[in-house]
């Protein structure tokens, strides 16, 4: 995994780390501190080589590495404050905290919370890419109108939207279909970046699907 790609992944997936640490009992300060420190370590040390060696999922790798890091860090009793250098991933602290409190279920284990947040971030990353793509094609407005149908809900609304936009209902149907297809491709691609190989994509998707179901 190239450093650049890894950095990008970390930007997408710092939130699961944060909620995990919070659920494990760290306060806000400490969670921020550890998240930041962990990424710094991850990106500069040879954890990277481990990530490459490890064929498994990036998600599980990250959690293992994090636990490792945290226990080492606590062994050192967090004696010295980290300083200097620009942190590789910038964290929006208030956002992190809001997001943590948005987690609906509060009797979850830290691991489950991590996975759940991971799934949400994956979907968010997918939606963001979808929006960017359509924005480039200057279809942004239509995208916003079609978005509510993305998950397959509300087909009854096709007729209204068709009337409003002055097109046939089947045109809406086809457009939604295309958008869903594209979204699926994007999501699968996002997942493929975090699993060792393409053949595990379905497994990972199924896992995340199941995680959100509880």
Partner 1 sequence: MHSSTRCPRCSSTRSPEDLDRGLCPRCLLGVALSLPLRKSAQPRAKVGETQEAPGDRVGPFVLLEFLGQGGMGVVYLAEQTEPIQRRVALKLIKLGMDTREVIARFEGERRALALMNHPHIASVHDAGITREGRPYFVMPYVAGVPITAFCDSQRMRLSGRLRLFMQACSAIQHAHEKGIIHRDIKPSNVLVSEVDGKPSVTVIDFGIAKATDRHRAEPALLTSEGVLVGTPEYMSPEQIASGGRDVDTRTDVYALGLLLYEILVGVLPFDSGDRGRADVDEIRRRIVSQELPRPSTQLSLLPENGTESARNRRTDPASLRRALRGDLDWIVMKALEKDRARRYPSAHELATDLERHLRHEPVTAGPPGTGYRLAKFIRRHRAGVAFAISLMLLFVAFATVMGLQARRIVRERDRANREAEAARQVSQFLIGLFKVSDPGEARGNTIAAREILDRGAEKIDRELKNQPEVQARLMSTMGIVYENLGLFAQAEPLLKESLRTRRLVLGDDQEDTVQSMMELGELQFAQGRLPEAESSFREAREISRRALGEDHPSTLGATSDLAVVYQFQGRQAEAERLYREALEKKVRILGLEHPDTLETVNNIASLLYAQGRADESVPFARQALEGRRRALGPEHPDTLDTMINLGAILQSTGNLAEAETFARESVELGRRIRPDHPSTLVSINNLGRLLRKQGRLVEAEPYFRESVEALRRMLGDRHSDTLTAMGNLGNLYTSLKRFVEAGAILTPAVQAARQSLPPGHTVIGFTLMQQGRLFTATAQYRDAEKALLEAEAILMAAVGAEHSFTKQTWESLAELYEALNNPEKAILWRSKLPPPDKTAGIPSPPPG
139 touches partner 1 (CB under 8 A): no
Binds partner 1 (CB under 8 A): choice among 45, 52, 128, 181: 181
**What is the Cα–Cα distance from 182 to 185, expressed in whole angstroms?**
5
Residue span 47-66 as binding mask against partner 1, x where in contact by CB under 8 A, dash where not: --------xx---x------
173 touches partner 1 (CB under 8 A): yes
Tokens at 21, concatenated:
């640490």
Binds partner 1 (CB under 8 A): choice among 3, 44, 135, 209: 209
Q: How far is the CB of 136 from partner 1 (least distance, A)?
A: 21
Q: How far is the CB of 9 from partner 1 (least distance, A)?
A: 18
99 touches partner 1 (CB under 8 A): yes
Stretch near partner 1 under the rule CB under 8 A, chosen from 20-28, 45-53, 65-73, 165-173: 165-173
Binds partner 1 (CB under 8 A): choice among 25, 83, 84, 213: 213
Enumerate binding residues for partner 1 (CB under 8 A): 55-56, 60, 99, 101-106, 119-120, 122-124, 126-127, 147-148, 150-153, 170-171, 173-174, 177, 180-181, 183-185, 187-188, 191, 196-197, 199-200, 202-203, 205-210, 212-214
């Amino acid at each position: 995994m190239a450093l650049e790609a890894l950095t990008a992944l970390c930007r997408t997936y710092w939130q699961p780390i944060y909620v995990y640490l919070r659920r494990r009992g760290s306060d806000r300060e400490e969670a921020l501190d550890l998240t930041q420190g962990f990424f710094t370590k991850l990106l500069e040390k040879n954890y990277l080589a481990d990530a490459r060696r490890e064929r498994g999922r990036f998600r599980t790798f990250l959690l293992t590495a994090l636990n490792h890091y945290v226990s080492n860090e606590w062994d050192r009793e967090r004696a010295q404050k980290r300083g200097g250098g620009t942190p590789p991933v910038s964290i929006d602290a208030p956002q992190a905290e809001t997001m943590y409190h948005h987690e609906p279920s509060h009797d979850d284990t830290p691991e489950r919370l991590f996975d759940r947040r991971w799934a949400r971030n994956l979907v968010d990353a997918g939606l963001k890419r979808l929006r960017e793509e359509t924005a480039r094609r200057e279809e942004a407005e239509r995208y916003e109108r079609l978005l509510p149908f993305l998950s397959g809900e509300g087909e009854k609304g096709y007729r209204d939207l068709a009337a409003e936009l002055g097109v046939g209902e089947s045109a809406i149907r086809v457009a939604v279909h295309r958008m869903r297809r594209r979204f699926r491709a994007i999501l699968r691609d996002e997942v493929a970046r975090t699993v060792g190989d393409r053949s595990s994509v379905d497994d990972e998707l199924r896992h995340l699907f199941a995680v959100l179901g509880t």
